Amino acid sequence: MAQIKLKITCRIEELPVLGGFLISSMQSPLIDFTNYSPDYNAAFITTANADLAAIEVLVNPKQLTEELKVITLRIYGNMSALRSKIDFLEGYINRAIGLTIGKKGFGISEVRKKNNNRDVEGLIAALTFVISNVANPTNMTALTAKGYSATQQSALIALRDALKADNIAQNTKVNDRNNKVVTNYAKFNTFWDKLVDISDAGKRIYKVTAPNRLDDFTISKLKARINQERNNTKFEGKVTSAGVPLNGAKVELQPLGVGRKRSIKTKADGKYIIKSIVPGDYAVAVNASGKITIDDTVTIVTGETESKDFVMV
């Protein structure tokens, strides 16, 4: 069976917002629409709101989002725990004698790079490489002589396995959400047709009697309003260390649900600002050369500016 083509002319995540605008405007007052056609009555509004709720569930499934938050926070917690383990292991490698490969060949720097970049899949691969090098009997003997233990090696393997399992679970849930959206394209199209119908009726009703209301029923104008609200949604602040602004510190926002990662580097005054953010819960990571990475969380609200300063050591 051929896949249904999606006919909406906005982003999928914008559809519930756009629908909410149109249905709300239609009700203020509904009598204007009812006088135009008896089709537009209280029952029409009830059905439209029920359709809107169903679309909202498809676009923003709350249970899935909460499950993704738990998994994502657990991943970030393990990434944070990894830093000290890798620091210790590097110390043992630097002090060990008789290793089968050079100290740089163990892959510690790649683990740090992938960890700092929040690249889970890359981190798993880099960590597996390090674990394999350490597991070499000759290397393990040399490292054990300097204080490294089988327990530490097991803990590193367990952390790698936990990251791997959570990465798979995270991808599976995201794919489930995306598949649910695709398999319900017909519902999205039907709802879109209803919005286009409301838009058309509203413009006809108010073209002469209340031209100031035309924008409330013009889809292109409503999309521009959504974009403006997104532009006004910001995350900003300042990063300092010992009272001095940090230039070039990386501030990264990673959605705890679904969405795309955003990042920016601070300017000479230590300030940063990330604009046009999709609302939701995010994990925050602040990285700077020679400083301890800061992990935090933040909730972004549409049309608002969330401010947060960070002090690095």
Dump the DSSP string for 82-106: HHHHHHHHHHHHHH-SS-SS-GGGG
Tell me: do 128 and 238 sit in the same domain: no
**Kind of pairing between the strands at 305-307 and 234-241:** parallel
Domain that holds residue 240: 233-311
Q: With contact defined as beta carbons under 8 Å apart, do 252 and 261 qualify?
A: yes
User: Which has the closest alpha carbon to 144: 184, 96, 192?
Assistant: 96
How far apart are the C-alpha atoms of 15 and 55, rounded to whole Å?
Answer: 8
Tell me: do 212 and 72 sit in the same domain: yes
Tell me: do 9 and 121 sit in the same domain: yes
| Mean local confidence (pLDDT), 224-252 | 94
Between 227 and 127, where is the model more confident? 127
Among 1-15, 80-94, 96-110, 185-199, where is mean pLDDT lowest?
1-15
Boundary (domain end) residue, out of 178, 208, 231? 231
Rg, Å, the chain Cα set? 26
Tell me: do 91 and 206 sit in the same domain: yes
**pLDDT (0 to 100) of residue 5:** 92
**pLDDT (0 to 100) of residue 99:** 97
3-state secondary structure of 311: strand
For 1, 16, 51, 64, 169, the CA distances from 177, given in Å and listed in that order, are 21, 16, 19, 8, 12
DSSP 246-286: PTT-EEEEEESSSS--EEEE--TTSEEEE-SPPSEEEEEEE
Tell me: do 77 and 184 sit in the same domain: yes
Tell me: do 111 and 180 sit in the same domain: yes
Q: How confident is the model at residue 258 (pLDDT cuts 50, 70, 90)?
A: low
Boundary (domain end) residue, out of 202, 231, 260? 231
Tell me: do 95 and 180 sit in the same domain: yes
At residue 286, φ and ψ (nearest 5 deg) are: -120, 120
Query: Residue 249 sits in a domain of what CATH number?
Result: 2.60.40.10
Q: How confident is the model at residue 295 (pLDDT cuts 50, 70, 90)?
A: confident
User: pLDDT, tens digit, for every residue of 121-162?
Assistant: 999 999 999 999 999 999 999 999 999 999 999 999 999 999
Tell me: do 123 and 184 sit in the same domain: yes
The gap from C-alpha 139 to its chain's centroid, in whole angstroms, comes to 40
Tell me: do 156 and 221 sit in the same domain: yes
| Mean local confidence (pLDDT), 55-75 | 89
How far apart are the C-alpha atoms of 218 and 49, rounded to whole Å?
Answer: 19
Tell me: do 109 and 66 sit in the same domain: yes
For 92, 104, 139, 277, the CA distances from 99, given in Å and listed in that order, are 11, 11, 5, 48
Q: Is the pLDDT of residue 252 over 90?
A: yes
Tell me: do 98 and 126 sit in the same domain: yes
Q: Is the pLDDT of residue 305 over 90?
A: yes
Tell me: do 245 and 159 sit in the same domain: no
Among 48-52, 252-256, 265-269, where is mean pLDDT lowest?
252-256
**pLDDT (0 to 100) of residue 140:** 98
Q: With contact defined as beta carbons under 8 Å apart, do 285 and 73 qualify?
A: no
**Kind of pairing between the strands at 262-265 and 250-255:** antiparallel
Average pLDDT value for the chain: 93
**pLDDT (0 to 100) of residue 2:** 62
**pLDDT (0 to 100) of residue 62:** 85
Among 20-34, 156-170, 172-186, 211-225, where is mean pLDDT lowest?
172-186
- ω before 245 within 30° of 0 (cis)? no
How far apart are the C-alpha atoms of 246 and 181, rounded to whole Å?
Answer: 42
Q: With contact defined as beta carbons under 8 Å apart, do 298 and 274 qualify?
A: no
How far apart are the C-alpha atoms of 9 and 218, rounded to whole Å?
Answer: 13
Q: With contact defined as beta carbons under 8 Å apart, do 130 and 107 qualify?
A: yes
Q: Based on the structure, what is the number of domains in the chain?
A: 2
Between 179 and 257, where is the model more confident? 179
Boundary (domain end) residue, out of 186, 209, 231? 231
**pLDDT (0 to 100) of residue 64:** 87
Q: How confident is the model at residue 60 (pLDDT cuts 50, 70, 90)?
A: confident
